[in-house]
Amino acid sequence: MQKHFLSFFAFVLVAQMSFAIDQSYYATIDNTKGTTLRDNLYTITASGPQGMSYDGLWSAYYTTDVYPADSVGKAGKIWDMYSNVLFTPGSKQCGNYSNVGDCYNREHSVPKSWFGEKKPAYYDLGHIVPTDGYVNNQRSNYAFGECANGTRLVNGKYHGTGKLGQSTFSGYTSYTKVFEPDDQYKGDFARMYMYMIVRYKKGNSNGITITSGDGAKMFNSTDTKFGLTDYSVALLMKWHRLDPVSRKEVDRNNGMQSEQNNRNPFIDYPILAEFLWGTKADQVFSFKNAVASFDPEFILDVSDGWRESEQGIDDLEASSVARKVLIDGQLYILVNDEMFTITGQRVK
């Protein structure tokens, strides 16, 4: 997309789904900031995981991690974030593997070795997703990052969507190998990490502390930056901003609530990340200046697997579209006469 309105993409608004959530679920975070905001988010997210177990993840994925019914050629298949393989739920669960496409397993996006397999983080849907076993093995316990010319695994028509290589992230090139997810999932993983650092904050009985190995690149042993390192703040906020909340994430969040009785607040209110680690740190969060992903005003990003309509701006009625526009290098969403950032905040 080029600057100064040279190119526009318009997406027909998808009919809003019926969500079992409203603003009252987050009532305690209104008009709070900093540590109080974080602590109240902890209290909210600490309502789960309830009724979940490590074995229970397999059946939970039927609710949280399958392509929706309107996904042509993919409906009902496992939504694998590490490969292009379309696994049938309940079939080819790992098990043994020797190549991409052999089976899918339960990937701890925050590797379980980092936190000593402590429960309930060990079986929390908030960060555990179904992924190709062979690609998961390639990711191993490496930190997330960005790399150039990394190794992407291929097996005929099947291939990994992530890659492993030398870190090229600005200011952090001294790090060795990192695993870089596909662009369409970077925001998803960023928001999973934000959920984890809030849900399992240091100092609570079920909190997790990560002080060694690659985990120490992303999490610190103090409460500085609410448990994140400078590296992870820079990386995760970049991914969070460039890959906004998708319908995939909203559906997964709803499924997570039904399966384990809690939600990821950074999917429901993406702008929250800015109040903890971004441009609004130490400012007061208020519902009146934020829009949730379950609100009709919020424009969800279109993810692979969802039908989308892409036309010229002149061919669409202003009352029926949301417009993504790039203005001086900044992406905005236009809805009728209102403007929003991609993280859901109204621009006055």
Residues 310 and 321: their CA atoms lie apart, in Å, by: 11
Instruction: Pick the closest to residue 12 from 342, 311, 331, 327 (CA basis).
Output: 311
Arithmetic mean of pLDDT over the chain:
86
108 strand-pairing partners: 128
- pLDDT recorded at residue 22: 82
Tell me if 4 is assigned to some domain: no
**203-227 residues labelled b (16+ CB within 10 A) or e (exposed):** eeeebbbbeeebbebbbbeeeebbb
pLDDT tens column, 137-183: 999 999 999 999 999 999 999 999 999 999 999 999 988 999 999 99
Give residues with Cβ within 8 angstroms of 110, minimum separation 6.
121, 127, 192, 193, 196, 215
CA-to-CA separations, 108 to 6, 112, 114, 160, in angstroms, rounded:
42, 6, 10, 17
- pLDDT recorded at residue 210: 85
Q: Is the pLDDT of residue 203 over 90?
A: no
32 strand-pairing partners: 285
CB 175 within 8 A of CB 217: yes
Tell me if 288 is assigned to some domain: yes
183-199 vs 247-260: helix crossing angle, rounded to 10: 30
CB 3 within 8 A of CB 329: yes
- pLDDT recorded at residue 342: 67
> What six digits make up the tokens of 249?
């994430």
pLDDT tens column, 106-117: 999 999 999 999
- pLDDT recorded at residue 192: 98
Residues 68 and 304: their CA atoms lie apart, in Å, by: 11
pLDDT tens column, 119-129: 999 999 999 99
Tell me if 311 is assigned to some domain: yes
Q: Is the pLDDT of residue 315 over 80?
A: no
Tell me if 152 is assigned to some domain: yes
- Average pLDDT of the residues in 255-262: 97
Cis peptide before 265 (omega within 30 of 0): no
**Category of 84 on φ-ψ map: left (φ > 0), alpha (ψ -120 to 50) or beta:** alpha
Q: Is the pLDDT of residue 261 over 90?
A: yes
Tell me if 3 is assigned to some domain: no
Residue 276 lies in domain: 9-347
**21-50 residues labelled b (16+ CB within 10 A) or e (exposed):** beeebbeebeebbeeebbbbbbebbbebbe
- Average pLDDT of the residues in 205-209: 86
Tell me if 247 is assigned to some domain: yes
Q: Is the pLDDT of residue 317 over 90?
A: no
**DSSP run (H or E) holding 252:** helix 247-260
Q: What SS3 string covers 261-312?
A: CCCCHHHHCCCHHHHHHCCCCCCCECHHHCCCCCCCCCCCECCCCCCCCEEC
- pLDDT recorded at residue 20: 53
12 strand-pairing partners: 321
180 strand-pairing partners: 163
Q: How many domains does the chain have?
A: 1
- pLDDT recorded at residue 286: 97
More confident residue, 330 or 308: 330
- pLDDT recorded at residue 348: 54
Tell me if 2 is assigned to some domain: no
- Average pLDDT of the residues in 293-298: 89
| Size of the chain, expressed as the number of residues it contains | 348
Q: Is the pLDDT of residue 280 over 70?
A: yes
